[in-house]
Amino acid sequence: MQANGHRRSGERRGRGRFRTILRLMAAAPLVVASVGLGLGFATVAGFGVASLSRAKPADSARQCEKPGGDGEDLGATDALAAITQGTLRSFVEKLARNYTGREVSIGRLDVDLGLDVVEVRAGDVSLANANWGRSDKMLSLKALKVRVEVAPLLTGSIVVPLIDVDGARVVYAVNENGETNLPLPQGTKSEESKPFSLADLPLVREARVTDSSVTYRNAKTGVESELDLAKASFAAPEGAPIELAAEGTYGGEALRIDASGGTWRALSEGGGEAFPVDLRATLGALSASASGGIALPAQLQGVDLKVDLRAEEIPRVYPLDAIFKPPTPPLRVAGHLTSETGANGETRYTRYTLADLGASLDKSEITGSKLTVTMAGPRPRVEGQLRASRFRFDDLTSYFSSPKPEPKDAKGVLPQSSFWPLAAFQAVDADIDFDLAQFHGFGLFFDMLSGTATSEDGVFRFQPLHGTRGDAEMTTYVSVYSKASPVKTDVKAEVHRLNLARRVGDLPFASVPISGRLGGRANLGLKGNSIAAMAGTANGEMVFAIDEGQVSGLLLELLGLDIAESLGLVVTEDDEDTPVPIRCALGNLPVHEGTVDLKTFIVDTADTLIKAEGSIGLDTETLDLRVVPYPKDFSLLSMRSPIGIEGTFASPDIFTDPVGLGVETTADKVINAILTPIAGLLPPFDTGTAADSDCAKLVEQAGVSAK
């Protein structure tokens, strides 16, 4: 009686696992559906053999619950009867049809019953697709072979020595309403919705898949992708490490996977020790490796892995193409990956941490950094510290935004390609502190750039951004509202002791032949996502001062001798190659809807004060300026005359314009007229020179004259 009780208990456990197999048929989008069909029937047949091997007919007549759950029962003897009466194929078709609610067709079906092993062979198997699917079939299968050991069934275990799948074609689809084409179990009972456990799975010793494919179609997102497996194998010998290998293509890119781990028992039952993992995979030009352990592999929890990811270019496949925008530069990322799960109130989260982070992003080198990604809420959240020995901002953004060529009909010189990576700002939230050496970005070079970058629901901020180069400093606050239409950007910046003689970047002022120390500030509101669009919509103000500077001979050559003479920068042709010292340059430039008003713009040399007036149209890239020299020595009046600057940025027209210059106007009068009203308003510029510098004296002169 006790033995019979054990057998009955084992049989009940076996039936429960049989139901688990059938659940997998409906829940897995891969060839598990067809494998589950063969495995489920092999298990039923195995129970039949097991029951016949026992002496009591009553036991052999014991019934397994039919998967339809509609009150009918399926006995093991029914399966044996179908085999012996030649109705096996139609019997299994009806069984699968009742379970899935879909049309099922089996071209051939054979069963070998042995006292040790039951083997099921099926061919030309198909399962109908959902009625809204593009394809008639969700699953087609050329050949399937499944073996199940008989003896373990008596104790409630399912041991599968072999699963062999050939020529499987699976279509996994999602319609516009988010519904999948997976067949739902007909009459599924609520008790069957218990959490998934690896312990419910049969013990598979070996699995082989050849010439098979899985097609994924999502009408809601427009995503389509395809996985083709030339061959794949899985081996889990008793007490030995699991081995996995696969070769094929995914999204047209060559795919190869080689992995090994712990034993099947360790995987299914878990325990105190982490499940060991050693993975190597390649997809096109992307290669990845991971080694370490996972405490709960079924839930992907308790990850503790050393990872290494390298790519000459990130493949253009789903879901990578939803994150990265090809073509991408070379990439390498390595570090120590760990994970944890928890709850913040009612919201559960999974947090992945990548410590000891080292990365090569094209020409950028990141070392000793740490980043965490928290999966919870509407968007992932990235936090951490970023350290780099060399960093180019374009290297980072190039992974998320495709470089767009300038329009063929573009006539201006300001770049019209996208500037901010808006997709990245909207895809993730972030809070990252950074210290980036040898920084190159936004047209500037810095020895060190530090600050905090945040992104929250599409609003990206640098708060603040502090850069140094030599003894020069820049402090900037930037806010980008990526969801605004058009995109809105606010910029507040201050610059101190910026040496123009030392190239600091690619901005226009950084390469003109003027030297000196610059101090200034800007407060601008911009719209659009290109340099051209932002400049053309700018509103705000820019103020600057340049001290201890000079105009090089190159600029004099570019201006031409007549223009240089008109401005008083040279007196004779022999002076054309001689740099001209600049005592001070001051500017107060209001900006309205992309038009810069030269409210105050003066350049003070040893014998001439040069005043510029007019406007610069950033939206139209046009110039409408008048530059007037005021002599400090009346003996030089005959050599002074205004010049006009008109035309476009691409083709400026510079010409002498002597009309309107009064001989009674002197430099002192100009200083009084221009600087006196704003002497108390000019900011305390830090150009790096003493308080008695030429700029300070010039402003002081205006202040004294006003008294």
**Model confidence pLDDT, tens digit, residues 58-81:** 333 333 334 444 434 445 556 656
pLDDT of residue 698: 67
Average pLDDT rounded to a whole number, residues 450-473: 92
463 pLDDT higher than 80: yes
With contact defined as beta carbons under 8 Å apart, do 278 and 262 qualify?
no
pLDDT of residue 222: 85
Distance of CA 614 to the CA centre of its chain: 45
Q: How far apart are CA 67 and CA 90, in angstroms?
A: 16
pLDDT of residue 706: 36
The DSSP code for 313 is: S
Comparing 21-35, 64-78, 93-107, 607-621, the range with the smallest average pLDDT is 21-35
CB neighbour list of residue 527: distance below 8 Å, 6 or more residues apart: 484, 486, 487, 488, 489, 533, 534, 537
Q: Which residue has the higher pLDDT, 320 or 481?
A: 481
189 pLDDT higher than 50: no
Other beta carbons within 10 angstroms of residue 545's beta carbon come to 26
With contact defined as beta carbons under 8 Å apart, do 465 and 479 qualify?
no
Residue 54 — pLDDT band, cuts 50, 70, 90? very low
pLDDT of residue 508: 42
Residue 43 — pLDDT band, cuts 50, 70, 90? low
- Give 253-304 pLDDT, tens digit per residue: 999 999 999 888 788 776 667 899 999 999 999 999 999 999 888 777 889 9
53 pLDDT higher than 70: no
pLDDT of residue 168: 93
Residue 576 — pLDDT band, cuts 50, 70, 90? very low
Residue 32's nearest CA partner among 24, 41, 44 is: 24
138 pLDDT higher than 70: yes
Angle (CA) 519-520-525 rounded to 5° is 155
3 pLDDT higher than 50: no
In angstroms, what is the C-alpha Rg of the chain? 38
Q: How far apart are CA 213 and CA 318, in angstroms?
A: 16
8 pLDDT higher than 70: no
Q: How far apart are CA 255 and CA 227, in angstroms?
A: 9
Name the pairing type of β-strands 514-527 and 488-499.
antiparallel
Q: How far apart are CA 200 and CA 212, in angstroms?
A: 26
Average pLDDT rounded to a whole number, residues 35-61: 46
651 pLDDT higher than 60: yes
The DSSP code for 626 is: E
pLDDT of residue 471: 85
With contact defined as beta carbons under 8 Å apart, do 281 and 253 qualify?
no
Q: How far apart are CA 567 and CA 551, in angstroms?
A: 12
- Give 229-239 pLDDT, tens digit per residue: 999 999 998 88
Q: Which amino acid is at 618?
A: L
Distance of CA 689 to the CA centre of its chain: 45
Average pLDDT rounded to a whole number, residues 386-402: 83
Name the pairing type of β-strands 580-592 and 301-311.
unpaired
Other beta carbons within 10 angstroms of residue 704's beta carbon come to 12
pLDDT of residue 441: 80
Average pLDDT rounded to a whole number, residues 585-601: 91
With contact defined as beta carbons under 8 Å apart, do 461 and 412 qualify?
no
Reduced to 3 states (helix: H, G, I; strand: E, B; else coil), residue 202 is coil
What are all long-range contacts of 377-382, with beta carbons under 8 Å and residues at least 24 apart?
377/347, 379/427, 379/428, 379/429, 379/457, 380/427, 380/428, 380/429, 381/428, 381/429, 381/430, 381/431, 382/428, 382/429, 382/430, 382/431, 382/432
Other beta carbons within 10 angstroms of residue 185's beta carbon come to 20
pLDDT of residue 51: 47
pLDDT of residue 664: 46
Q: What percent of the chain has pLDDT over 90?
A: 37
pLDDT of residue 207: 93
Q: Which residue has the higher pLDDT, 130 or 567?
A: 130
Give the CA distances from residue 438 to residues 174, 328, 332, 445, 449, in Å, rounded to whole numbers and listed in that order. 48, 22, 19, 7, 8
Q: Which residue has the higher pLDDT, 288 or 689?
A: 288
Give the end-to-end CA distance of the chain in Å, rounded to a whole number. 118
Distance of CA 653 to the CA centre of its chain: 46
Highest mean pLDDT among 290-294, 574-578, 691-695: 290-294
Average pLDDT rounded to a whole number, residues 609-638: 80
Average pLDDT rounded to a whole number, residues 314-341: 88
Give the CA distances from residue 468 to residues 366, 478, 584, 606, in Å, rounded to whole numbers and listed in that order. 19, 17, 23, 32
Query: What φ, ψ does residue 48 adopt, rounded to 5°?
Result: -65, -45
554 pLDDT higher than 90: no
Give the CA distances from residue 601 to residues 495, 525, 664, in Å, rounded to whole numbers and listed in that order. 18, 22, 21
Other beta carbons within 10 angstroms of residue 9's beta carbon come to 12
Give me the residue label for tokens 């009955």: 8
Count of residues for the chain? 707
Residue 459 — pLDDT band, cuts 50, 70, 90? very high
Give me the residue label for tokens 């080198």: 365
Under the phi-then-psi rule, with left for phi > 0, alpha for psi from -120 to 50, and beta for the rest, what region is 621? left
pLDDT of residue 93: 84
Two structure tokens written together for 234: 């899985």
Global pTM reads 0.68
